[in-house]
Amino acid sequence: MGLTALISCGLNTSPMDLLTFISDPERKRRLAALTGSSEGYLWQCATKWRGKKPSPALARKIHEASVDIAGSLGGEPLALGAIRPDIWPTEAA
């Protein structure tokens, strides 16, 4: 694969969503601890189980905690638009 293909592949990736972020057990455990939420509730919000969505305040906590977690464990932090796109729409590609 050429350099152009590698660069364009990286540019076309969508931001990580909450379900993908918490699929790692350590990230899920730390996110729950840092946000004061339970791992189960984070899963409910991530899967939209019975219409669950994090409140705007919890979405901000999740975003801020994901920055800390990504800094220490690697990976990318969650954008607010990836957590609550109905409040913070993501940019159109």
CA distance 87 to 5: 33
Condensed to tens digits (0 to 9), the pLDDT of residues 60-84 reads: 999 999 999 999 998 899 999 999 9
Residue 90 has pLDDT above 90, yes or no: no
Residue 30 pLDDT greater than 80, yes or no: yes
d(CA 66, CA 83): 11
The rounded distance, in Å, linking the Cα atoms of 50 and 35 is 21
CA dihedral 79, 85, 90, 93 (to 10 degrees): 120
Q: Give yes or no for a contact between 43 and 18, defined as CB atoms under 8 angstroms apart.
A: no
Query: What does 27-87 look like in DSSP terms, one character per residue?
Result: HHHHHHHHHT--HHHHHHHHHTGGG----HHHHHHHHHHHHHHHHHH-S-PPPHHHH-TTT
pLDDT for position 93: 39
